[in-house]
Structure 1
């Protein structure tokens, strides 16, 4: 059974373990590098601040009591758009529906908050992630995202329409 937990900044140590694992095991998939979050970057207040981003929704998925996945939803500068970021499923959680459930929960949160669109960036060549996102209703927008740390590849932006029918505004928590 997959359990989903909504995190607060007090859960920073759990988030830290998964994030460092993600940046170690799947460095090709992230704009951040492991070195950015080690040494001077590996401070409790920095981890807490990441989980305390205004209006963010941070989740960890566990299977059999072991944390195996993470994701966040964050507001963007675009009106009625939310971005899905920091998506990661550890090898022992893959193929078990963890990624689908995490994406679905962020989409539900964004929709309930009144967002009309959920956006994300995926690294070129990350076919497993792209398959996950397409399976969950995302499509390529044709927009290029940020340049990857290798200085060669760019992220590709994908989006999914939401009903955005909630009376809640995405600017509220």
Structure 2
């Protein structure tokens, strides 16, 4: 976004808009991976995984189509994207009961970042243009850092707790066996 690669200027609307195509490509590639990771941590059924990833892909595609349209159609596409976001959030929240703390934190990161993406779309250049271009790029960059890098690092540092593997007890039992 910062370099201008994958940027399209849309001048058919009342105010010129900047559409970041790379943002949608990034979302189509990384968000399904994040949702798949959450499903693997929670040992969810394949049907839930397919539903989550499918709704997420439809959410991103609806937002992309909305960014290419002019008002009022773009807001109808944003609303469709928002409906898919609600479906994803509802499915993620349903899996929180009885889950470990690492899964809960990773789920909250995913839900918060998805909501921020939707709000920035509405307030940014694709939507109402209430935010300046610098603020939009800054918010998306910070959200990307938290949702992808933060998610990945937190998962990496808490892998054993997330997957329910506690090797310290097994190591202690083996070492006490010879004493």
Instruction: Give TM-score scaled by structure 1 length.
Output: 0.27
Computing the radius of gyration over CA atoms, which structure comes out larger, 1 or 2?
A: 2
Structure holding more helix per residue:
2
Instruction: Give TM-score scaled by structure 2 length.
Output: 0.26
Of structures 1 and 2, the one scoring higher in RCO (CA 8 A, sep 6+) is 1
